[in-house]
Homo-oligomer: A and B are copies of this chain.
């Protein structure tokens, strides 16, 4: 498998803007087929690569072509069903997030991956983003101490209605957006997820979701996420046992506050902090993680070894998502009962 043969599934915006460009610049990899239920869209691959065979359904592509891996970017139903199919056929599978709509489906995917022995995983690009990698490296240093708390803010402005034929805007938001930041909480939280508390506020069709998580490492995490914001932005903070606070702003700038920070001319002095920013010509797909998520996927195929963002790695994240939905359903149920009681009282009082 020195030259990996890849089939693409779902030739939409995410594929054309982020995954395809990342794949094209990878060494020893060839895109040998493209598939989209809309064949015209599948044909767009030929603007980049002449004569690439195209398909309007995945089974046909898998049967016709000798593929080492499929890369999918579509709705979760596609990722789930065609992911299962591809794994059963022994083809390595990389799907965009979300891989599926429920924890139950995720468990099926995990099982299938285990049985098929392929490398399978999900495009959790935040986890592979360069500044997040820097943070992960940094938190491994003894001088950083232990992570005590993680604060994550995820500012989104959509979805305001259910996606992918689901019936819940909340679940759609969690699967489409918050999945990344929950996954970061799990990544930095370390140990086992032990406790989840959550609440959901609604304003018109917009949501604010708050989640508290606790991990067996002793670390806790807070997430503020929602769709009441003007545009997508993101920040996170890590608090450690060595009185160090590190902030990441929008996958761009890192600020590190520590008790004794020094420059050469000032020596250690109060209120000095370390700040990092990317170079002015920083380009490509490494900072945003699209390169890293794919690069490590193919590395895992080549070695072979476990892929860090495999389906199993998302188990705690889906547990959190299910918990948030269940808590919200319970809270809404309670409210409904209360408003029924109130309505009843009002009826009585007439």
Contacts and interface: CB of A to CB of B under 8 A. Distances in A.
Nearest to A263: B274
A222 B220 contact: no
Contacts of A259: 157, 230-231
Contact of A201 (B24, B220, B255, B270): B220
Interface string A210-247: 10100000101010101011111110010111111100
A176 interface: no
A295 interface: no
Given A149-B208, A243-B157, A274 B266 contact: yes
Interface residues of A, number: 94
A190 interface: no
A346 interface: no
Interface in A261-287: 261-267, 269-285, 287
- In this complex, the member of A141, A228, A242 whose beta carbon has the largest number of chain B beta carbons within 10 angstroms is A228
B258 A275 contact: no
Contacts of A206: 243
Interface string A126-147: 0000000010011101011010
A239 B224 CA distance: 11
A277 B252 contact: yes
B24 A143 contact: no
A155 B220 CA distance: 16
Interface string A186-216: 0000000000010101011010101010000
Interface stretch (A25-33, A52-60, A64-72, A332-340): A25-33
A256 B252 contact: no
A94 interface: no
B270 A141 contact: no
B212 A210 contact: yes
A151 interface: yes
Contact of A275 (B151, B272, B282): B272
Nearest to A20: B25
B280 A233 contact: yes
A229 B234 contact: no
8 contacts: A25-B48, A206-B243, A222-B224, A229-B245, A250-B277, A251-B280, A251-B281, A280-B288
* Closest 10 pairs between A and B when the two form their complex, measured CB to CB: A27-B47, A24-B24, A263-B274, A144-B265, A141-B265, A250-B280, A143-B264, A21-B25, A283-B288, A230-B259
Interface of A: 3, 17-18, 20-21, 24-28, 30, 47-48, 50, 125, 134, 137-139, 141, 143-144, 146, 148-149, 151, 153, 155, 157, 197, 199, 201, 203-204, 206, 208, 210, 212, 218, 220, 222, 224, 226, 228-234, 237, 239-245, 250-252, 255-267, 269-285, 287-288, 290
Given A151-B153, A232-B280, 13 more contacts: A20-B25, A144-B265, A148-B208, A149-B210, A222-B224, A226-B239, A229-B239, A262-B262, A272-B274, A272-B275, A272-B276, A283-B284, A283-B290
